[in-house]
Amino acid sequence: QQQRTQAKMDTMEVPNYGTVVVCPYNNAHQILAERLQKHLVKCRRQYPNAKITCPFNNAHHIPEQELKLHTKTCPDRGQMESFKYAIASTPAPPPQAAVYVRSDGTTVLATAPPVEDVKQDDDENWDDMDAPAYNPAKYCANNLIIRKATHKTAAEKRQFYEDERVRHEMLKKGNA
């Protein structure tokens, strides 16, 4: 109860500025709520052993003596508990028996559709891949890719671009 009222006193709305929060390390520090996390990292360096971080919210820095009480009354504890324990409102209904038709035409009475022993098309097995390794130089040589001559002398560049022009003409004739 005391912490909740203290938390309400530590935050205040400033017109044309936003929500201001008082630093747990130094009451003279008043920070915008959006900048609190960044400020706490800096301020904690100045007061290394003064406070402990709450396990439910990293923005809660509490004196070590009050940690046990805070963990029992922390407002963010409820969010953590809702993830920890799933509550079902009604139990799932039991499965109903029905008649199913298999792919071969036979019928079966079961509580769920029969599982076919047919391999799905979308099944992937990365262990059975016999694909060759990708070679980018080979790919570029066999496709209409514009390549650039780098780190070559002027004469080597002229020869490279002449060879590229011939390569592109040959590839265009092969595709036509």
Domain membership flag for residue 18: yes
Is the predicted pLDDT of residue 151 greater than 60, yes or no?
yes
Q: 21: exposed, middle or buried (C-beta count within 10 Å: 0-12, 13-18, 19+)?
A: buried
Q: Determine the structural domain holding residue 44 and report its residue range.
A: 11-65+78-84
Is the distance from CB of 6 to CB of 63 less than 8 angstroms? no
- Model confidence pLDDT, tens digit, residues 71-107: 888 888 887 777 676 665 666 666 667 777 777 777 7
Is the distance from CB of 11 to CB of 33 less than 8 angstroms? yes
Q: Which of these, 65, 25, 60, lies nearest to 45 by C-alpha position?
A: 25
Looking at the 3D structure of the chain, how many domains does it have? 2
pLDDT score at 120: 54
Is the predicted pLDDT of residue 109 greater than 80, yes or no?
no
Domain membership flag for residue 116: no
Q: How many CA within 13 A on the CB side of residue 161?
A: 9
In this prediction the pTM is 0.40
Domain membership flag for residue 15: yes
pLDDT score at 166: 94
